[in-house]
Amino acid sequence: MIDINLLRQQPDLVKKALINRQKDVSILEKILDQDKRYRELLGEVEKIRAAQNQISKSFSGKPSDEQISTGKELKTQLKDLEEKLNIVETDLNILLEEVPNLPADDVPVGKDDSENVVWKTVGEKPVFDFTPKHHLDLGEALDILDVKKAAEVSGSRFGYFKGQGAVLEMSLMFYAFKKLTAMGFIGMIPPAMIKSKTEWQCGYASNKNLFGAYYSIPEDDLIFISSSEHAVVPYHQNEILNLNVLPLRYVNYSPCFRREAGTYGKDMKGMLRVHFFNKVEMNVFTLPDLKVSDAMCLEMLSIEEEILKDLGLSYQVMRNCTGDLPQPNRRMYDLNTWFPGLDEYKETGSCSNCTDYQARRLNTKVKIDGQNSFVHILNSTVVTDRVLLAILENFQTKDGSINIPEVLWPFTGFKVISPKS
Protein backbone atom coordinates (compact mmCIF):
# COMPACT_ATOMS: atom_id res chain seq x y z
CA MET A 1 0.00 0.00 0.00
CA ILE A 2 1.33 3.43 -0.88
CA ASP A 3 1.74 6.23 1.65
CA ILE A 4 -1.46 8.29 1.46
CA ASN A 5 0.56 11.41 2.29
CA LEU A 6 2.24 11.03 -1.09
CA LEU A 7 -1.14 11.00 -2.77
CA ARG A 8 -2.30 14.03 -0.76
CA GLN A 9 0.82 16.06 -1.46
CA GLN A 10 1.70 14.95 -5.00
CA PRO A 11 -1.48 13.71 -6.73
CA ASP A 12 -0.09 14.54 -10.19
CA LEU A 13 2.93 12.29 -9.56
CA VAL A 14 0.65 9.40 -8.60
CA LYS A 15 -1.61 10.09 -11.59
CA LYS A 16 1.37 9.92 -13.97
CA ALA A 17 2.46 6.62 -12.40
CA LEU A 18 -1.03 5.15 -12.86
CA ILE A 19 -1.12 6.22 -16.50
CA ASN A 20 2.30 4.67 -17.13
CA ARG A 21 1.18 1.46 -15.41
CA GLN A 22 -1.97 1.21 -17.57
CA LYS A 23 -4.25 1.77 -14.55
CA ASP A 24 -7.54 3.67 -14.23
CA VAL A 25 -6.77 7.18 -12.94
CA SER A 26 -10.37 7.84 -11.88
CA ILE A 27 -9.58 5.98 -8.65
CA LEU A 28 -7.53 9.00 -7.48
CA GLU A 29 -10.51 11.36 -7.33
CA LYS A 30 -12.49 8.74 -5.40
CA ILE A 31 -9.63 8.33 -2.92
CA LEU A 32 -9.14 12.06 -2.39
CA ASP A 33 -12.90 12.59 -1.87
CA GLN A 34 -13.01 9.71 0.62
CA ASP A 35 -9.87 10.98 2.34
CA LYS A 36 -11.42 14.44 2.70
CA ARG A 37 -14.47 12.90 4.35
CA TYR A 38 -12.19 10.79 6.58
CA ARG A 39 -10.20 13.80 7.78
CA GLU A 40 -13.36 15.81 8.40
CA LEU A 41 -14.80 13.04 10.57
CA LEU A 42 -11.47 12.55 12.31
CA GLY A 43 -11.44 16.25 13.17
CA GLU A 44 -14.94 15.99 14.65
CA VAL A 45 -13.93 12.92 16.67
CA GLU A 46 -10.84 14.64 18.03
CA LYS A 47 -12.89 17.74 18.91
CA ILE A 48 -15.33 15.68 20.98
CA ARG A 49 -12.52 13.78 22.68
CA ALA A 50 -10.94 17.13 23.60
CA ALA A 51 -14.27 18.30 25.02
CA GLN A 52 -14.51 15.11 27.09
CA ASN A 53 -11.02 15.69 28.46
CA GLN A 54 -11.90 19.29 29.31
CA ILE A 55 -14.97 18.19 31.27
CA SER A 56 -12.92 15.57 33.14
CA LYS A 57 -10.34 18.19 34.10
CA SER A 58 -13.07 20.57 35.34
CA PHE A 59 -14.31 18.10 37.94
CA SER A 60 -13.69 19.22 41.53
CA GLY A 61 -15.39 16.63 43.61
CA LYS A 62 -18.81 15.35 42.56
CA PRO A 63 -19.77 16.34 38.96
CA SER A 64 -22.86 18.48 38.52
CA ASP A 65 -26.02 17.27 36.77
CA GLU A 66 -25.12 19.51 33.84
CA GLN A 67 -21.63 17.98 33.58
CA ILE A 68 -23.10 14.47 33.72
CA SER A 69 -25.66 15.32 31.04
CA THR A 70 -23.04 16.92 28.79
CA GLY A 71 -20.72 13.95 29.29
CA LYS A 72 -23.44 11.47 28.27
CA GLU A 73 -24.30 13.54 25.22
CA LEU A 74 -20.65 13.71 24.14
CA LYS A 75 -20.26 9.96 24.66
CA THR A 76 -23.26 9.27 22.41
CA GLN A 77 -21.99 11.67 19.75
CA LEU A 78 -18.51 10.13 19.90
CA LYS A 79 -19.82 6.58 19.49
CA ASP A 80 -21.86 7.60 16.44
CA LEU A 81 -18.95 9.48 14.85
CA GLU A 82 -16.42 6.70 15.54
CA GLU A 83 -18.69 4.18 13.83
CA LYS A 84 -18.95 6.47 10.79
CA LEU A 85 -15.19 7.06 10.87
CA ASN A 86 -14.47 3.31 10.89
CA ILE A 87 -16.73 2.78 7.86
CA VAL A 88 -15.14 5.66 5.95
CA GLU A 89 -11.62 4.47 6.84
CA THR A 90 -12.40 0.92 5.71
CA ASP A 91 -13.76 2.20 2.38
CA LEU A 92 -10.71 4.44 2.00
CA ASN A 93 -8.33 1.53 2.53
CA ILE A 94 -10.23 -0.57 -0.01
CA LEU A 95 -9.75 2.20 -2.57
CA LEU A 96 -6.06 2.54 -1.66
CA GLU A 97 -5.58 -1.18 -2.39
CA GLU A 98 -6.12 -0.39 -6.07
CA VAL A 99 -3.14 1.97 -6.23
CA PRO A 100 0.12 0.16 -7.11
CA ASN A 101 3.61 1.11 -6.07
CA LEU A 102 5.10 4.01 -8.02
CA PRO A 103 7.67 2.92 -10.64
CA ALA A 104 11.20 4.27 -10.41
CA ASP A 105 11.93 7.16 -12.78
CA ASP A 106 14.23 5.02 -14.92
CA VAL A 107 11.75 2.17 -15.45
CA PRO A 108 10.87 1.98 -19.18
CA VAL A 109 7.32 3.08 -20.00
CA GLY A 110 5.38 0.38 -21.84
CA LYS A 111 2.04 -1.40 -22.02
CA ASP A 112 3.06 -5.02 -21.33
CA ASP A 113 5.93 -7.56 -21.41
CA SER A 114 6.34 -7.08 -25.17
CA GLU A 115 7.84 -3.68 -24.38
CA ASN A 116 10.37 -4.83 -21.78
CA VAL A 117 13.90 -3.72 -22.64
CA VAL A 118 16.94 -5.98 -23.02
CA TRP A 119 19.54 -4.55 -20.66
CA LYS A 120 22.32 -7.03 -21.41
CA THR A 121 22.97 -10.42 -22.96
CA VAL A 122 25.50 -12.67 -21.22
CA GLY A 123 27.17 -15.89 -22.32
CA GLU A 124 27.47 -17.71 -25.63
CA LYS A 125 24.63 -19.74 -27.06
CA PRO A 126 25.67 -23.37 -27.65
CA VAL A 127 26.32 -24.37 -31.26
CA PHE A 128 25.04 -27.76 -32.42
CA ASP A 129 25.77 -29.79 -35.54
CA PHE A 130 22.24 -31.18 -35.28
CA THR A 131 18.78 -29.75 -34.68
CA PRO A 132 18.43 -29.33 -30.90
CA LYS A 133 15.41 -30.96 -29.32
CA HIS A 134 12.72 -29.59 -27.01
CA HIS A 135 13.17 -30.44 -23.31
CA LEU A 136 10.04 -32.60 -23.32
CA ASP A 137 11.25 -34.73 -26.23
CA LEU A 138 14.61 -35.15 -24.51
CA GLY A 139 13.05 -35.92 -21.13
CA GLU A 140 10.62 -38.48 -22.47
CA ALA A 141 13.32 -40.24 -24.48
CA LEU A 142 15.54 -40.42 -21.37
CA ASP A 143 12.56 -41.41 -19.18
CA ILE A 144 13.22 -38.53 -16.75
CA LEU A 145 10.10 -36.42 -17.51
CA ASP A 146 6.50 -37.58 -17.81
CA VAL A 147 3.64 -35.21 -18.53
CA LYS A 148 1.30 -37.86 -19.97
CA LYS A 149 0.98 -39.73 -16.68
CA ALA A 150 0.75 -36.42 -14.85
CA ALA A 151 -2.20 -35.45 -17.07
CA GLU A 152 -3.94 -38.71 -16.15
CA VAL A 153 -3.31 -38.17 -12.45
CA SER A 154 -3.59 -34.38 -12.07
CA GLY A 155 -4.74 -32.83 -15.35
CA SER A 156 -2.95 -30.48 -17.73
CA ARG A 157 0.09 -28.35 -16.81
CA PHE A 158 1.64 -30.89 -14.44
CA GLY A 159 4.63 -33.19 -14.80
CA TYR A 160 6.73 -35.85 -13.12
CA PHE A 161 10.50 -35.67 -12.68
CA LYS A 162 11.70 -39.28 -12.64
CA GLY A 163 14.89 -41.19 -11.87
CA GLN A 164 17.95 -39.12 -12.70
CA GLY A 165 15.62 -36.23 -13.56
CA ALA A 166 14.40 -36.17 -9.96
CA VAL A 167 18.00 -36.34 -8.71
CA LEU A 168 18.98 -33.46 -11.01
CA GLU A 169 16.03 -31.40 -9.77
CA MET A 170 16.94 -31.84 -6.10
CA SER A 171 20.64 -31.31 -6.84
CA LEU A 172 19.94 -27.99 -8.56
CA MET A 173 17.82 -26.77 -5.66
CA PHE A 174 20.31 -27.81 -2.99
CA TYR A 175 23.29 -26.41 -4.91
CA ALA A 176 21.59 -23.00 -5.03
CA PHE A 177 20.36 -23.18 -1.43
CA LYS A 178 23.80 -24.17 -0.13
CA LYS A 179 25.54 -21.47 -2.18
CA LEU A 180 23.43 -18.72 -0.64
CA THR A 181 23.64 -19.97 2.93
CA ALA A 182 27.43 -19.90 2.46
CA MET A 183 27.00 -16.20 1.54
CA GLY A 184 25.32 -15.55 4.88
CA PHE A 185 21.67 -15.85 3.88
CA ILE A 186 19.42 -17.44 6.51
CA GLY A 187 17.88 -20.67 5.23
CA MET A 188 14.11 -21.01 5.42
CA ILE A 189 11.59 -23.68 4.42
CA PRO A 190 8.20 -21.98 4.98
CA PRO A 191 4.63 -23.30 5.19
CA ALA A 192 3.05 -24.00 1.81
CA MET A 193 -0.28 -22.48 2.88
CA ILE A 194 -1.08 -19.12 4.46
CA LYS A 195 -4.14 -17.26 5.77
CA SER A 196 -6.07 -15.06 3.34
CA LYS A 197 -5.18 -11.97 5.39
CA THR A 198 -1.51 -12.85 5.05
CA GLU A 199 -1.87 -13.16 1.29
CA TRP A 200 -3.61 -9.78 1.15
CA GLN A 201 -0.75 -8.23 3.12
CA CYS A 202 1.69 -9.27 0.38
CA GLY A 203 -0.08 -6.84 -1.95
CA TYR A 204 -0.51 -8.88 -5.13
CA ALA A 205 -4.31 -9.31 -5.04
CA SER A 206 -7.19 -7.38 -3.53
CA ASN A 207 -9.40 -8.74 -0.76
CA LYS A 208 -12.22 -9.06 -3.30
CA ASN A 209 -10.46 -11.79 -5.30
CA LEU A 210 -8.03 -13.56 -2.98
CA PHE A 211 -9.55 -17.03 -3.18
CA GLY A 212 -10.18 -16.70 -6.91
CA ALA A 213 -6.64 -15.60 -7.71
CA TYR A 214 -4.91 -18.53 -6.01
CA TYR A 215 -5.38 -22.22 -5.29
CA SER A 216 -7.10 -22.20 -1.93
CA ILE A 217 -9.25 -23.92 0.69
CA PRO A 218 -11.78 -21.17 1.53
CA GLU A 219 -13.53 -23.11 4.30
CA ASP A 220 -10.22 -23.28 6.18
CA ASP A 221 -9.18 -19.74 5.20
CA LEU A 222 -6.01 -21.07 3.58
CA ILE A 223 -4.27 -20.16 0.33
CA PHE A 224 -1.46 -22.13 -1.33
CA ILE A 225 1.62 -19.95 -1.80
CA SER A 226 2.62 -18.96 -5.34
CA SER A 227 6.18 -18.40 -4.10
CA SER A 228 7.97 -18.58 -0.76
CA GLU A 229 7.91 -14.77 -0.59
CA HIS A 230 4.23 -14.95 0.38
CA ALA A 231 5.07 -16.91 3.53
CA VAL A 232 8.52 -15.52 4.38
CA VAL A 233 7.92 -11.76 4.02
CA PRO A 234 5.04 -11.93 6.58
CA TYR A 235 7.37 -13.72 9.03
CA HIS A 236 8.20 -10.27 10.44
CA GLN A 237 4.68 -8.79 10.41
CA ASN A 238 3.91 -6.44 13.32
CA GLU A 239 7.59 -6.29 14.29
CA ILE A 240 10.03 -3.46 14.85
CA LEU A 241 13.36 -4.82 13.61
CA ASN A 242 16.65 -3.87 15.17
CA LEU A 243 18.71 -1.58 12.98
CA ASN A 244 21.78 -3.76 13.36
CA VAL A 245 20.11 -6.83 11.76
CA LEU A 246 19.57 -5.05 8.43
CA PRO A 247 19.96 -6.08 5.71
CA LEU A 248 18.11 -9.20 6.86
CA ARG A 249 18.63 -11.80 4.11
CA TYR A 250 16.71 -15.06 3.66
CA VAL A 251 17.05 -17.85 1.11
CA ASN A 252 13.97 -20.03 0.90
CA TYR A 253 12.99 -23.33 -0.66
CA SER A 254 9.33 -24.09 -1.33
CA PRO A 255 6.81 -25.62 -3.69
CA CYS A 256 4.88 -22.98 -5.64
CA PHE A 257 1.30 -23.21 -6.87
CA ARG A 258 0.03 -21.16 -9.82
CA ARG A 259 -3.42 -21.17 -11.39
CA GLU A 260 -1.94 -19.65 -14.57
CA ALA A 261 -5.29 -18.01 -15.31
CA GLY A 262 -5.27 -16.05 -18.56
CA THR A 263 -2.40 -18.07 -20.06
CA TYR A 264 -4.47 -20.47 -22.16
CA GLY A 265 -2.53 -21.49 -25.25
CA LYS A 266 0.84 -20.25 -23.96
CA ASP A 267 3.77 -22.69 -23.62
CA MET A 268 1.45 -25.69 -23.84
CA LYS A 269 4.17 -28.19 -24.71
CA GLY A 270 6.45 -29.38 -21.94
CA MET A 271 6.85 -28.08 -18.40
CA LEU A 272 7.60 -24.37 -18.80
CA ARG A 273 4.19 -23.18 -17.59
CA VAL A 274 2.80 -25.48 -14.89
CA HIS A 275 0.50 -25.31 -11.89
CA PHE A 276 3.16 -26.62 -9.48
CA PHE A 277 6.93 -26.19 -9.37
CA ASN A 278 9.82 -25.92 -6.91
CA LYS A 279 11.80 -22.76 -6.32
CA VAL A 280 14.71 -21.32 -4.35
CA GLU A 281 14.21 -17.62 -3.68
CA MET A 282 15.77 -14.66 -1.88
CA ASN A 283 13.88 -12.23 0.35
CA VAL A 284 15.66 -9.27 1.89
CA PHE A 285 14.62 -6.53 4.35
CA THR A 286 16.62 -3.29 4.13
CA LEU A 287 16.72 0.23 5.47
CA PRO A 288 13.91 2.47 4.17
CA ASP A 289 16.22 4.25 1.77
CA LEU A 290 15.79 4.03 -2.02
CA LYS A 291 19.54 4.14 -2.67
CA VAL A 292 20.06 1.28 -0.23
CA SER A 293 17.23 -0.93 -1.48
CA ASP A 294 17.96 -0.30 -5.17
CA ALA A 295 21.61 -1.20 -4.55
CA MET A 296 20.47 -4.38 -2.80
CA CYS A 297 18.26 -5.18 -5.78
CA LEU A 298 21.30 -5.08 -8.06
CA GLU A 299 23.27 -7.20 -5.59
CA MET A 300 20.52 -9.85 -5.56
CA LEU A 301 20.35 -9.72 -9.35
CA SER A 302 24.11 -10.33 -9.54
CA ILE A 303 23.71 -13.46 -7.37
CA GLU A 304 21.02 -14.78 -9.69
CA GLU A 305 23.31 -14.06 -12.65
CA GLU A 306 26.21 -15.81 -10.93
CA ILE A 307 24.12 -18.96 -10.60
CA LEU A 308 23.36 -18.99 -14.35
CA LYS A 309 27.03 -18.33 -15.15
CA ASP A 310 28.07 -21.21 -12.86
CA LEU A 311 25.68 -23.45 -14.79
CA GLY A 312 27.11 -22.30 -18.14
CA LEU A 313 23.80 -20.88 -19.41
CA SER A 314 23.38 -17.89 -21.72
CA TYR A 315 20.81 -15.36 -20.52
CA GLN A 316 19.40 -11.89 -20.96
CA VAL A 317 18.61 -9.37 -18.22
CA MET A 318 15.39 -7.50 -19.00
CA ARG A 319 14.31 -4.16 -17.57
CA ASN A 320 10.59 -4.65 -17.07
CA CYS A 321 8.41 -1.81 -18.31
CA THR A 322 5.73 -0.03 -16.28
CA GLY A 323 2.93 -2.14 -17.76
CA ASP A 324 4.65 -5.37 -16.69
CA LEU A 325 5.27 -4.52 -13.03
CA PRO A 326 3.32 -6.43 -10.37
CA GLN A 327 1.30 -4.30 -7.95
CA PRO A 328 3.94 -3.98 -5.16
CA ASN A 329 6.98 -3.37 -7.38
CA ARG A 330 9.00 -0.17 -7.79
CA ARG A 331 11.25 -1.92 -10.31
CA MET A 332 11.73 -5.43 -11.66
CA TYR A 333 14.30 -7.29 -13.72
CA ASP A 334 13.50 -10.54 -15.53
CA LEU A 335 16.22 -13.06 -16.33
CA ASN A 336 15.51 -14.91 -19.56
CA THR A 337 17.59 -18.02 -20.25
CA TRP A 338 18.36 -19.40 -23.70
CA PHE A 339 16.38 -22.50 -24.73
CA PRO A 340 17.90 -23.86 -28.00
CA GLY A 341 15.08 -26.37 -28.49
CA LEU A 342 12.63 -23.47 -28.46
CA ASP A 343 15.08 -21.14 -30.23
CA GLU A 344 14.34 -18.29 -27.83
CA TYR A 345 15.08 -16.82 -24.43
CA LYS A 346 12.45 -17.72 -21.82
CA GLU A 347 11.96 -16.26 -18.36
CA THR A 348 13.56 -18.33 -15.61
CA GLY A 349 13.62 -15.76 -12.81
CA SER A 350 13.14 -12.18 -11.70
CA CYS A 351 14.37 -9.65 -9.15
CA SER A 352 12.19 -6.93 -7.60
CA ASN A 353 12.30 -3.99 -5.21
CA CYS A 354 8.92 -3.50 -3.50
CA THR A 355 10.18 -0.65 -1.25
CA ASP A 356 7.77 -0.13 1.70
CA TYR A 357 4.62 -1.16 -0.20
CA GLN A 358 4.32 -4.58 1.49
CA ALA A 359 5.76 -3.40 4.80
CA ARG A 360 2.85 -0.96 5.30
CA ARG A 361 0.29 -3.76 5.19
CA LEU A 362 2.54 -6.06 7.20
CA ASN A 363 3.40 -3.33 9.72
CA THR A 364 7.10 -4.25 9.58
CA LYS A 365 9.29 -1.40 10.78
CA VAL A 366 12.77 -0.47 11.92
CA LYS A 367 13.68 2.06 14.59
CA ILE A 368 16.12 4.73 13.36
CA ASP A 369 17.13 7.57 15.71
CA GLY A 370 14.07 6.91 17.85
CA GLN A 371 11.70 7.00 14.87
CA ASN A 372 9.87 3.92 13.55
CA SER A 373 9.83 3.63 9.74
CA PHE A 374 8.57 0.95 7.36
CA VAL A 375 11.38 -1.22 5.99
CA HIS A 376 11.99 -1.91 2.30
CA ILE A 377 11.38 -5.48 1.09
CA LEU A 378 12.89 -7.19 -1.96
CA ASN A 379 12.51 -10.58 -3.64
CA SER A 380 14.50 -12.47 -6.24
CA THR A 381 14.48 -15.89 -7.84
CA VAL A 382 17.55 -18.07 -7.37
CA VAL A 383 16.48 -21.14 -9.39
CA THR A 384 13.26 -22.86 -10.44
CA ASP A 385 12.43 -26.03 -12.37
CA ARG A 386 12.68 -23.96 -15.55
CA VAL A 387 16.45 -23.76 -15.08
CA LEU A 388 16.57 -27.57 -15.11
CA LEU A 389 14.66 -27.55 -18.41
CA ALA A 390 17.20 -25.06 -19.80
CA ILE A 391 20.01 -27.41 -18.73
CA LEU A 392 18.39 -30.27 -20.68
CA GLU A 393 18.16 -28.21 -23.86
CA ASN A 394 21.56 -26.50 -23.64
CA PHE A 395 23.65 -29.55 -22.74
CA GLN A 396 22.06 -32.15 -25.01
CA THR A 397 24.22 -34.19 -27.34
CA LYS A 398 23.53 -35.78 -30.71
CA ASP A 399 22.78 -39.17 -29.18
CA GLY A 400 20.20 -37.63 -26.80
CA SER A 401 22.42 -37.61 -23.70
CA ILE A 402 22.58 -34.66 -21.30
CA ASN A 403 25.93 -33.45 -19.97
CA ILE A 404 25.47 -32.19 -16.40
CA PRO A 405 27.06 -28.81 -15.51
CA GLU A 406 30.20 -29.41 -13.47
CA VAL A 407 29.01 -27.42 -10.44
CA LEU A 408 26.23 -29.98 -9.96
CA TRP A 409 28.43 -33.10 -10.07
CA PRO A 410 29.02 -33.22 -6.29
CA PHE A 411 25.25 -33.21 -5.78
CA THR A 412 24.06 -35.52 -8.58
CA GLY A 413 26.72 -38.20 -8.28
CA PHE A 414 26.72 -38.50 -12.10
CA LYS A 415 28.06 -36.38 -14.96
CA VAL A 416 25.84 -37.53 -17.81
CA ILE A 417 22.28 -38.72 -18.29
CA SER A 418 22.42 -41.21 -21.13
CA PRO A 419 19.72 -43.04 -23.10
CA LYS A 420 18.95 -46.48 -21.77
CA SER A 421 20.34 -49.18 -23.98
Comparing CA positions, the residue from 386, 419, 366, 316 lying closest to residue 169 is 386
Instruction: Decide if 258 contacts 274 (C-beta within 8 A).
Output: yes
* The total number of residues written for the chain in this structure: 421
Q: In angstroms, what CA-CA distances link 223 with 28, 196, 284, 352?
A: 30, 6, 23, 23
Instruction: Decide if 122 contacts 136 (C-beta within 8 A).
Output: no
What is the SS3 assignment for 134?
A: coil
The span from the CA of 222 to the CA of 193, in Å, is 6
| Phi, psi of 113, deg, nearest 5 | -65, -15
Q: In angstroms, what CA-CA distances link 380 with 8, 73, 362?
A: 32, 56, 19
The span from the CA of 74 to the CA of 155, in Å, is 63
| Phi, psi of 319, deg, nearest 5 | -95, 110
- Which active-site residues does the annotation give? 258, 273, 347, 350, 386
Q: In angstroms, what CA-CA distances link 174 with 251, 274, 378, 383?
A: 11, 21, 22, 10
The span from the CA of 315 to the CA of 303, in Å, is 14
Give the list of residues 6+ apart from residue 245 with CB closer than 8 angstroms, or none: none
What is the SS3 assignment for 284?
A: strand
